[in-house]
Amino acid sequence: MSASVRVAVFSDVHGNLPALFAVLHDIDAHGPFDELVAAGDHCLNGPDPVESLDTVLGRCSSVLIGNADRDIVDEGASDPELGGKKRASIQWTREVLGDDRVQSLAGLAFASRTVAPDGSALLVVHANPHDIDRHIFPDMLDGDLDALVEGVEADVLAFGHLHIPFTRQHRGLLLANIAACGLPRDGDRRAVWGEFNWTEAGGWACVTHRVAYDYGETVLRILDCGMPHPGRRIRDLVSASYD
């Protein structure tokens, strides 16, 4: 029986290559890990979708699909609130990625599951265990949260989608939001990733890491790459807020 299991998880790169490189470097510094999981939204709304996706696919043991990845694949058809800015971003990203990479997004898995020697499990998804659209909020009422985690057979649930990292215990289930690598929205511009460790003595534990990087480099890339609505993308990156 192994004495430990170690899994690193990040989510929501959104085409921010400097943030991704910073997170991967930090993961390497804290390693080694048995698994490396990227939990969706790898490309859209950032200046380096090709390099970000290729890096994620090349480095990670599991690469999951997020809502933004699906939106690239179906050109936003599944988004009932699709607006002009997002439509333009999707089209630009599709053109830059090319058909082969778009199809690689279509084939990504929904979830990743790691089972420890004692049978306890870490489940990783993009948004929640049932779909890639509904957010898990840190202050949700227990009854509302029940609907999103119903039927989950795991001890830890790791996810992104909402770009606000937090941990919360819910009826014996440890919830861990580890977003966002490339576009935090909690007022802290540093990139985020999650470290999940199982030991025979202590079971599963989570550590959330914040990694400083040169976001000014990303700003320059946004201005230089030709992506639509660069002012909006820079505002979101620098403000690190949903406001």
Structure confidence by residue, pLDDT tens digits, 111-149: 999 999 999 999 999 999 999 999 999 999 999 999 999
Nearest to 220 by CA among 207, 202, 211, 233: 233
pLDDT of the residue at 26: 98
Is it the case that residue 35 has pLDDT exceeding 70? yes
Distance CA 151, CA 31 (A): 32
Is it the case that residue 2 has pLDDT exceeding 80? no
Q: What is the mean pLDDT of residues 27-48?
A: 98
| Coil, strand or helix at 168 | strand
pLDDT of the residue at 1: 42
pTM over 0.85: yes
Q: How many domains does the chain have?
A: 1
Q: Provide, rounded to the nearest whole percent, the portion of the chain with pLDDT above 70.
A: 99
Helix (H) or strand (E) holding 17: helix 17-30
Distance CA 232, CA 21 (A): 23
- Give the domain CATH number at 134: 3.60.21.10
Domain extent at residue 206: 4-239
Sequence-distant (6+) residues with CB within 8 A of 170 are 142, 145, 149
Nearest to 161 by CA among 68, 235, 72, 236: 68
List, for residues 146-185, the tens digit of each pLDDT value: 999 999 999 999 999 999 999 999 999 999 999 999 999 9
Is it the case that residue 87 has pLDDT exceeding 90? yes
